[in-house]
Amino acid sequence: MKHHLFWPVTLLALLLLFNLLYDPSFFSIKIRDGRLYGSLIDILNFGAPLMLVAIGMTLVIATKGIDLSVGSIVAITGAMACMTISKGTDQNSLGLVAMAVIMALGLSLLLGLWNGFLVAGIGIQPIIATLILMVAGRGIAQLITNGQIITLNSGNYKYIGAGDLFRLPFSIFIVAVVFGAAVLLTRRTAIGMFIESVGNKPVASRLAGIRAKSVMIAAYLFCGLCAGIAGLILSSNVSSADGNNAGLWYELDAILAVVIGGTSLNGGRFYLAGTVIGALIIQTLTTTIYVINVSPEITLVVKAFVVLVVCLIQSESFRQAIVSRWKTRRYPAEKETTRHA
Amino acid sequence: MKAVKRKGLALVALAVMLFSAACSGNSGANPPASNGGGASSSSTTETTKAPEGKKITLGFSQVGAESGWRTANTQSIQDSAKEAGYDLKFSDAQQKQENQIKAIRTFIQQKVDVIAFSPVVESGWDTVLKEAKDAGIPVILTDRAVDSTDTSLYETFIGSDFVEEGRRAGTWLVEQFKDATEDVNIVELQGTTGSAPANDRKSGFDEIISSNPKLKVIASQTGDFTRAKGKEVMQAFLKANPDIDVLYAHNDDMALGAIQAIEAAGLKPGEDIIIISVDGVKDGFIAASEGKINFIVECNPLLGPQLMEAVQAVVDGKEIEKRIVTEEGVFTSEDAKRELPNRKY
């Protein structure tokens, strides 16, 4: 039995190897204006929001749920933060930015709570419960922005998604903190076991004394918060809020990242590190497609093909089928020769 | 248990009602409120005959609100419909063709007098347009064209000539680099794949720059008309191609995203990399006045008044031209600096 990270890491390495062969400058990292500069840094920076959303999604999926509303939450929090800052007199004031961030994150928690309430409180199927916010969320984001793209001129807000700390993009540190917190909470306390147990069998968990509903609500809360932070990073990266396009299809990329990372959609087991690798695979693939200049008409086909291959390789039974086919070839003529030999 | 379930159902129903109420509230001018009194059920049937003095009902399906340009376009149409005293049924397709087809079918059912829409993509409209034709409702295209061969399916197409916009961008570039001795490396940020402005702005540009073999498009990728994608793609371009001389972006928003990427790479937008962009929205104009965009080809979104004229003409049964082109200009950064205070959008 191989380590659960074996295949995700191998696939990421293969993608990077392809880039190395195609153009070695992919790996060159220079220092420019006091910060590291190169394709790899870009992947980390642009991949940060996806990693965050996927981390939250992992815990929700571990409870046998799913959250389709993360893309909309990304749009709403970005819109909320930018709207708050644009209304202020001094856009650059630290207090205003802090208030905007707190308000946006508070709103994302509220939205997460709404999802958790629908799923755990009322008992709606997760895919439908979160679909409500997925559909309504873009409308809410546009209500906040009045359908306009809000452009900011705030250096302090821009720092969240485009600033750098110790020569690395600041967003990476946010991901590191959230990832660290998630790992500590789930692997150093009993919460992780509770989540897995609820994902396996909610009723049995409840009978065993676990508050299944609270655990589920907590998972959706966390997922909402992660999406909220991702929304801040995305909108701050381009210093503008776009209610319509921010975080569009993020939920699908996030679910894909979780699955590539080895977490089962049936719930009951999850791998946070695998998820992060999965998100990196997706972002590397996107960047690769831009670099090798695939024509835009077939970009999605290329992406889909790679994802298909990745998923097939990930699948245990598919690998076994290939291997057993390879070992037991059924060509009558061949059997004949071996018998007579 | 049962009581809980019933309570849940009631809550869901309430939520659904709230959402649908919010949606219809969003569409602005709704018939019952603004139909000038009278029972709403009977008035909808009357509108089909459009008798003298009756309010004209215009169904308009917008692409979405993907950029500042689109917002200005929406605003212009809503304002001029109000001014003309039309009853406007506005629907936002959020960049999805299926939403737009649904909206047009709804307009047909509601028996509006005229349907106008900006197609999200060029192809796949024949069926729904034929349905409108069979229902006797004239259709006007705004801003974007359809590739249908049967031109009887719509009355007219009001909008910019995107090929011409691409040509103008190309002409300026050819003029700038007419004495170039070395290759000029151009990267292109295309609009949404398959959309008319992306296809046409590309083909018009390619047509003109092919006159000078030194001008080479070395990379071309879609940025979906958004800032975030524009930035991401430009950042990848900059890594893969160390020597970029010119950026041609199909809209201002992508150019604005790309400017951030260029600045992050330690280069000066407008100097180290010449930037050409199409649209002329406010933020684009501000960037141009700062010298960060060298040349903007305007694409005028304020076509509301022209649309209302066309609607009136169609309702009156007058012949109108199959193609109405909006008035537009081109701006260098000096022009932009001068014009900035007068810009409406």
Interchain pair B228, A245: CB under 8 A: yes
Instruction: Give residue for tokens 């061949």.
Output: A334
Q: How far apart are CA B141 and CA B155, in angstroms?
A: 8
Could you identify the residue written with the tokens 């006045």?
Answer: B289
Do the domain assignments include residue B133?
Answer: yes
Q: Do A82 and A240 contact (CB within 8 A), yes or no?
A: yes
Indicate if B295 and B306 belong to the same structural domain: no
The DSSP line for A287-307 is HHHHHTT--GGGHHHHHHHHH
Same domain, B194 and B286: yes
Q: What is the pLDDT of residues A33-43, one digit of tens each?
A: 777 778 888 88
Residue B344 domain-assigned?
Answer: no
pLDDT number for residue B4: 53
The 10s digit of each residue's pLDDT in B29-85 is 333 333 333 333 333 333 444 445 578 889 999 988 766 778 888 888 999 898 888
Give the residue-averaged pLDDT of A62-66: 89
Rounded to a whole number of angstroms, the distance from the CA of B149 to the nearest CA of chain A is 23
The verdict on B178 and B294 lying in the same domain is yes
Question: In the Cβ-directed half-sphere of B208, how many Cα atoms lie within 13 Å?
Answer: 21
Residue B135 included in any domain: yes
* Cα pseudo-dihedral A153, A157, A160, A161, rounded to 10: -30
| DSSP, res A35 | E
The reply to whether A148 touches chain B by the CB within 8 Å rule is yes
Asked whether residue B230 is assigned to any structural domain, the reply reads: yes
Which of A136, A246, A297 has the CB atom closest to B228's CB atom? A246
The highest-level CATH class for domain A36-293 is: mainly alpha
pLDDT score recorded for residue B32: 37
Shortest CA gap B96–chain A (Å): 12
Nearest-by-Cβ selection for B8 from A37, A123, A244: A123
Q: Summarize pLDDT for A133-156 with one digit per residue, the tens.
A: 998 988 888 888 877 778 888 778
The answer to whether residue A335 scores a pLDDT higher than 80 is: no
Domain assignment present for B45: no
pLDDT of residue A240: 83
Residue B98 and residue B200 in one domain: no
| Domain with B114 in it | 50-160+301-327
A-chain residue closest to B16, CA distance: A132
Query: pLDDT digits over A319-328, tens only?
Result: 888 888 777 7
Cα angle B102, B92, A69 (rounded to 5 degrees) comes to 95
For residue B23, the chain A residues in CB contact (below 8 A) are: 139
ipTM: 0.80
Cβ separation B11–A243 shorter than 8 A: no
The tally of domains found in chain B comes to 2
Q: Which of A142, A238, A246 sits opposite B231 (nearest CB)?
A: A238
**Per-residue model confidence (pLDDT) at position B47:** 40
How far apart, in whole angstroms, are the C-alpha atoms of residue A250 and residue A257?
10
Give the residue among B67, B116, B109, B125 at the shortest CA–CA distance from B90: B116
CB contact under 8 A, A123 and B236: no
Asked if the structure places residue B25 within a domain, the reply is: no
pLDDT level of residue A9 (50, 70, 90 thresholds): confident
Per-residue pLDDT tens for B279-307? 888 888 888 888 899 999 988 888 888 88
Contact B236 A39 (CB under 8 A): yes
Lowest-confidence region among A235-249, A274-288, B2-16, B151-165: B2-16
CB burial of residue A167 (10 Å; 0-12, 13-18, 19+): exposed
Interchain pair A26, B265: CB under 8 A: no
Q: Mean of the pLDDT values across residues A253-274?
A: 86
- Between B244 and A25, where is the model more confident? B244
Residue B28 has pLDDT above 60, yes or no: no
- Would you list the domain boundaries of chain A? 36-293, 300-341
B237, B171: one domain: yes
**pTM of full prediction above 0.80:** no
**Contacts with B95 from chain A: Cβ below 8 Å:** 244
Distance CA A119, CA A124 (A): 5
Same domain as B263, residue B156: no
pLDDT greater at residue B29 or residue A195: A195
What is the pLDDT, as a whole number, of residue B22?
Answer: 43
A74's CB contacts (< 8 A; 6+ apart) are A49, A53, A227, A228, A230, A231, A234, A246, A247, A250
**What b-and-e string marks burial along B262-299, b requiring 16 or more CB atoms within 10 Å of the CB?**
bebbeeebbeebbbbbbbbbbbbbbbbbebbbbbbbbb
Residue type, A124: I
HSE-up of residue A294 (Cα within 13 Å, Cβ side): 15
**B75 within domain boundaries:** yes
| Interface check A117 vs B, CB under 8 A | no
Q: How far apart are CA B89 and CA B32, in angstroms?
A: 12
Find the CATH number of the domain harbouring B196: 3.40.50.2300
- Phi, psi for residue A266 in degrees, rounded to 5: -80, 0
Residue of B nearest to A33 (CA): B266
> What string of H, E and C letters represents the secondary structure of B150-163?
CHHHCCEEEECCHH
Question: Which of A26, A244, A299 has the CB atom closest to B65's CB atom?
Answer: A244
Interface size A-B, in CB pairs within 8 Å, comes to 104
Give the pLDDT score at B9. 55
